[in-house]
Amino acid sequence: MALICVAILVLSGWREWSTRDAELQNAEIDMANLAQSLAQHANDTFELTDNVLIGMVHRLQIDGAGIEAIARLQTFIDLRKRGMGRIRGLFVYDETGRWLATSETVSLKDFNNSDRDYFRHHAHLDDRAMLIGRPVKSRSGGQWIITASKRFNHPDGRFAGVVLASLDAAYFAQFFEKFNIGRNGAVSLLNSDGIVLARHPDNDVYIGRDLSSTPLFKERDKHPASAPYYFKSPLDGVQRLSFYKTSENFPLMILATQAQEEVLAPWRQDAATRTMIVVALLTIIAVIGFYFVRQLQARHLMGAALEAKEADFRLLAEESSDMVTRIGMDERIRYVSPSSIRVVGWRPEQLLGTPALAGVNAEDMPRVKAMIATLKWGDEEDARIAYRSRHREKAEIWIESTMRVTKEYGTAEINGVVAISRDMTEHKDLEQKLAALATIDGLTGLANRRHFDEHLEREWARARRDGTTLSLLLIDVDHFKKYNDRYGHQAGDACLKSVAQALAAQARRPADMAARYGGEEFVLLLPDTDSAGCEQMGKKIRDCLAVLGIDHEFNLPSRKLTVSIGGATIDWQDPQAQSSSLIEAADQALYSAKDEGRDRMVMSGPVLAPRLIAPGLTPSLVS
């Protein structure tokens, strides 16, 4: 009884400590959720600001900074005043720091910002990224603001000035105030250098403070992008539980904190109450000793119930259509149900005592052994796996087995595994057929549109990463509808197959892909191929079709089957270009080939982002 009392006290203490840890973990989760939300809010705010600045820089670099262009930009800024929302003000400075335009109602000639850190940064560094500066006092309004700025250049690349958006630090502090973080809690927005950009509470007191010397920033490389963090605040000396979250897009960090004392206060009160209850219960433990005998009796009854369950197990196993197997710790079969004849072709008595893994395919054996080992060592209690195995009469079959460990009654030690297995061969065959149907065009045998789109995205990402060229040919059969009307749809199908074979013959490299793009339209993707190589490949395709000499009465003047080809090559002059830009450029080149009389190839000009694609094309007629 004394040992029981000591055990209860130890368990009670362990439970209370676990509860304390759980309280801290729950607080960490709350802080993590809060930090994630606030980080998303800050990220959205600065992303909105970045988009506005990009638009202004775009206008300035296209229209210039002349008097008329600045007047139009001022009108644009005035129109955006009501819809700026989180952005307080917009400003434009020339290369000397003189104010050119602003959303503030002030005299432009009274101010010059050439002494600001952000201005000097942009003047000396040609960095097109948005710069989030330290908080400063606004010269037009006097309040603390956070600056976000971008550089714009003259047409010759020289520094032309700065566009700037200002955000009130108080805006973030007021937003942070909406969240309940306790009497001594705090939320801070910092930049990556450890400068406080906004804080609740006491925003005006702590804004601009430099925390770069604190362990969180001194050892920044050792910390992940987001994690819980316990520290004693250098601002108010309070021991805090916090969670920080670093923005993925901007050099910003959200630090949400609660006072550790406030977090643990409810736990301390509840722990005191529970401890009193435990002490009271220990005094009456002696009285319940009488019930120990009844516990022994219940144990005997439980043993009988287990025997009955074992009998039920055998009954269910023998009536099941799946093969039920009990495997010992030595990996030999101790029991197998009659369904083994249907599943693997062997009678139960032929399998008893044999190695359970004897028929497993050699390639699948390591996976199966690893899973069995995991179950035997108690790392998992159940698992499911599919593998190939020998059948007594048929060829090799696929089997899916669901396994669960069995344990000794009383000691709870693992004594084997029960496996329920079924034949999955037909299911696997169907999976393979469906996989093929999902990627291959049924008529031509080429890749289908969906498979091509996926391959294009992969090659596009690889070419962008490696800085290599990527070319694409869009091929359209000339007057195909007239061909179908004249020769019939069966002949039309045969015609498409011939074109597909010609394309497949040219897609010789592993990364090349020929695909049916839709109807009589085909596409050939050529990685690591420049414009000249793309044009040469188009000529080969036309030559190959010319050799076939397929009659086409309505395709004048040749009266033979011909194709129109549009080609495009990306050279990454525009970093904003997307894969759709390559297809669109080739499509425009294809339309030019048709407009010029068909039976020819036209190469497009440089491939740019969709908003910048020029209508002009560089025709390259291949006769």
Tokens of 188: 């801070």
470 Cβ contact partners less than 8 Å away, ≥ 6 residues apart: 459, 460, 463, 525, 526, 527, 528, 529, 569, 570, 582
Cα–Cα distance for residue pair 311/316, rounded to 1 Å: 9
258: which DSSP letter?
E
Look-up: residue for tokens 């999976």? 431
Closest alpha carbon to 81 in 105, 65, 111, 62:
105
Q: Is 418 left (phi over 0), alpha (psi -120 to 50) or beta?
A: beta
Residue 501, CA distances (Å) to 276, 446, 494, 512, 516 in order = 86, 9, 11, 14, 11
Exposure pattern of 451-485 as b/e (b: 16+ CB <10 Å)? bbbebbeebbeebbeeebbbbbbbbbbbbbeebbe
Neighbour count for residue 118 (Cβ, 10 Å):
21
Cα–Cα distance for residue pair 531/102, rounded to 1 Å: 46
Residue 248 bears catalytic tag: no
HSE-CB for 250 with a 13 A CA cutoff:
24
Helices (H), 440-474: 449-466
Helix (H, G, I), strand (E, B) or coil at 195: strand
- Where does residue 611 rank: exposed (0-12), middle (13-18), buried (19+ CB within 10 A)? exposed
Contact 46/132 with Cβ under 8 angstroms?
yes
Helices (H), 507-608: 531-548, 579-595
Backbone phi and psi for residue 373, each to the nearest 5 degrees, phi listed first: -65, -40
Tokens of 615: 């209508």
Query: Could you tell me which residues are beta bridge partners of residue 327?
Result: 333, 417
Closest alpha carbon to 535 in 513, 563, 507, 566:
566
Q: Among residues 23, 28, 520, 584, which one is catalytic?
A: 520
Contact 335/320 with Cβ under 8 angstroms?
no
DSSP strand pairing (601-603 vs 563-570)? parallel
Contact 23/258 with Cβ under 8 angstroms?
no
Closest alpha carbon to 31 in 270, 265, 262:
262
Express the helix, strand and coil content of the chain in percent, nearest 5 each: 45, 25, 30
Amino acid in position 621: L
Closest alpha carbon to 131 in 143, 119, 148, 114:
148
Catalytic (active-site) positions:
520
